Chain A
Amino acid sequence: MGKAIVITSGKGGVGKTTSTAAIGAALAQRNEKVVVVDFDVGLRNLDLVMGAERRVVFDLINVIQGEAKLSQALIRDKRLENLFLLPASQTRDKDKLTPEGVERVITSLKKAFDWVLCDSPAGIERGPTLAMRHADAAIVVTNPEVSSVRDSDRIIGLLDAKTVKAERGEQMEKHLLLNRYDPMRAATGEMLNVDDMLEILSIPLLGIIPESTDVLRASNIGAPVTLADSRSETARAYCDAARRLSGEAVPITVPGEKRGFFGKFFGRKAA
């Protein structure tokens, strides 16, 4: 039985879709069977980031409505044979997403895959609530800015109240993915610092992804950043996050805090 994970944030534009694709590909590279599910009905993007937009025939709504079988809607990635995409519908009404339908789809996906990554739409309405409802764990994507942190806090509250797991009285597993971290702005104190964000949100940190043009370049060529340039700093950060997600103990590195040769010698001030 696989694990369903919702990638959510409350706020839009913080990198949910990019992170879903990147972590999905990173897990698939580790020989795990992965499906990424787009829940953003009407504003789908995950197919573009995965480079599968021209291969979409059936979608999540078709499956929920019983117009297509799950196996017909799943799109296999061309680069990784154990990575699949279940796209959202771009044209259908998002009210067609029913709680029973979502539960049925997630349950059958969990039987066939090790990881079911659900890319949640922004907001706190029906779409995001359904995306998180049947999840076993959540990745909360947050940017280092006050509005994003507050929205994430709101989402964490909903994860602890509105999910099936929470309603059963169980503890929802939550991870913080700090995205678009800018070492330059962090150094000048223009950005919320990592410790403050962790203190406010008080959930464990899954990883810190640096702000980088690699992400834009990767989505333009339609590849998850972890596949487009696996040696970039961003790709490495996502791969580390994926390893932590599967339970490996990988120490967290804050981007920009790696010291050079002289840094190692003179990095610490005498007390």
Chain B
Amino acid sequence: MTEVLTDTKPIRLKGRSFLALVLSPEPPFDDWLARLDDLAARSAGFFLRRPIVLDVDGLEMDGAELRGLIEQLRERHVRIMGIEGADPTLLGSDMPPAMAGGLPASDLEEPDEDAPEIESEPAAPSLMVTQPVRSGQLLTSEGDITIVGSVASGAEVIAGGSVHVYGTIRGRVVAGSMGNDAARIFCRKLEAELVAIAGYYKTSEDFEDELRGQAVQLWLENEAILGDTQG
């Protein structure tokens, strides 16, 4: 008898890429583990709950050695999510899966004792424009954008950070384009066709009457774009 599926809803499968820390052990492994312990001692919790990929490419090791190394790491609370560069025959079903196709990302610095934060990304450079943004022009920056002038109808400004317009917005302005929901939009006069913060947008028709034509700041709160007038 075949099973009848009562629920016809399909299972959603998606591909997604993540940034993982890659550990590359060097023989002799005892020395390498000692150095790892030293790093862990200087910054507690460095490896805790982080996805780690073990890169054993070019290392001469048999199944028992690899298994032993993973065990040693597990004792140090380093959880291996995958193994890169290992002979597939070495990997048993109880071991992390093989990974391939990794792309290099910028190196992570070893943390200092004074600076336990390791994830402080460098601030994206901001863009300063001292001319009006004309219709048909597109301005983009990963950081903030400051415009000394107006943004014309039919022009588009897209910033990863906040957008400051010392003039009138008549075109489209997108702040927090990469999901930064703390980004804001400031302008001397709001006559925009569309504004958006972190993917939430508002068209000119949706503006409150008291904001239209005024000097305002706009921000995102509970998935809604709010604004108030600036003196």
CB distance from B190 to the nearest CB of A (A): 15
A-contact bits for B129-171, CB 8 A (1 contact / 0 none): 0011011110000000000011011110000000000001010
B134 and A200: CB pair below 8 A?
Answer: no
The residue among B131, B152, B153, B154 with the most chain A CB atoms within 10 A of its own CB is: B152
B-contact bits for A143-177, CB 8 A (1 contact / 0 none): 00010001101101110100000000000000000
Q: Chain B contact residues (Cβ within 8 angstroms of A): what range?
A: 10 to 19
**List of B residues within 8 angstroms of A150 by Cβ:** 135, 152-154
**List of A residues within 8 angstroms of B149 by Cβ:** 202
Q: Taking chain B's interface residues, is the majority helix, strand, or loop, or is none over half, making it mixed?
A: loop
**List of A residues within 8 angstroms of B170 by Cβ:** 200
CA distance A104 to B135 in the complex (A): 31
Of A124, A153, A158, the residue contacting B152 (CB under 8 A) is: A153
B131 and A153: CB pair below 8 A?
Answer: no
**List of A residues within 8 angstroms of B132 by Cβ:** 202
Q: Taking chain A's interface residues, is the majority helix, strand, or loop, or is none over half, making it mixed?
A: helix
CB distance from B167 to the nearest CB of A (A): 9
A154 and B150: CB pair below 8 A?
Answer: no
B168 and A199: CB pair below 8 A?
Answer: yes
**List of B residues within 8 angstroms of A156 by Cβ:** 134
**List of B residues within 8 angstroms of A200 by Cβ:** 150, 152, 170
B154 and A160: CB pair below 8 A?
Answer: no
**List of A residues within 8 angstroms of B168 by Cβ:** 199
**List of A residues within 8 angstroms of B135 by Cβ:** 150-151, 153-154, 157
B-contact bits for A202-245, CB 8 A (1 contact / 0 none): 10000000000000000000000000000000000000000000
The residue among A153, A154, A156, A200 with the most chain B CB atoms within 10 A of its own CB is: A153
Of A154, A158, A199, A202, the residue contacting B154 (CB under 8 A) is: A154
CB distance from A157 to the nearest CB of B (A): 3
CA distance A207 to B150 in the complex (A): 23
CA distance A158 to B153 in the complex (A): 15
**Given A199-B168, A200-B170, A157-B134 contact (CB < 8 Å):** yes
Closest B residue to A10 by beta carbon equals B135
Q: A150-B135, A150-B154, A160-B131 are in contact. List 14 more A-B contacts (CB 8 A).
A: A153-B134, A153-B136, A153-B152, A154-B134, A154-B154, A156-B134, A157-B134, A157-B135, A157-B136, A199-B168, A200-B150, A200-B170, A202-B132, A202-B150
By Cβ-Cβ distance, the 8 closest A-B pairs, closest first, are A157-B134, A153-B135, A154-B135, A154-B136, A153-B152, A153-B134, A157-B137, A150-B135
20 contacts across the A-B interface (CB closer than 8 A)? A124-B136, A150-B152, A151-B135, A153-B134, A153-B136, A153-B153, A153-B154, A154-B136, A154-B154, A156-B134, A157-B134, A157-B136, A157-B137, A157-B155, A158-B136, A160-B131, A160-B134, A199-B150, A202-B149, A202-B150
